[in-house]
Amino acid sequence: MDGWIDIGALELTDRKPVRIAVDGDAVLLLKTGNQVFAIGNQCTHQGAGLDRGVIKIAGSVNTVTCPAHGSMFNLETGKTMRPPATKPVPVYDVKVEEGRVFVRPRET
């Protein structure tokens, strides 16, 4: 299956973060319109859950801000956009087929 991992049938609500497990790692899934983002859920600063953070969908730059100390991550690339975190979170490709969600770790 080219590295795709079947997460199963999920009801994704627009702009409502969902926390899933992928091979033992916590991953944040976020749907907005026809797009679904998936990044590591654990902040690279001190490990807070990004699924409790503030989501900002602004077209070309879509972000989540860590609820603990305000690090900001790009939902598309996983890159840090605001400290104190300095390392990116992992990023995953996502596809939805007949209601089933598949993710695949993206090579960076």
Complex with ligand FES: residue 84 or 90, whichever CB lies closer: 84
Please report, to the nearest 10 degrees, the dihedral formed by the alpha carbons of residues 96, 102, 39, 68 taken in order. Answer: 90
27 lies in the binding site for ligand FES (CB under 6 A): no
80 lies in the binding site for ligand FES (CB under 6 A): no
Complex with ligand FES: residue 87 or 100, whichever CB lies closer: 87
Rounded to an integer, what distance in angstroms lies between the CA atom of residue 74 and that of residue 106? 14
84 lies in the binding site for ligand FES (CB under 6 A): yes
85 lies in the binding site for ligand FES (CB under 6 A): yes
**Which runs of consecutive H residues, i.e. helices, occur in 1-108?**
none
**Measured from the CB of residue 15, what is the shortest distance to ligand FES in angstroms?**
20
Rounded to an integer, what distance in angstroms lies between the CA atom of residue 59 and that of residue 67? 22
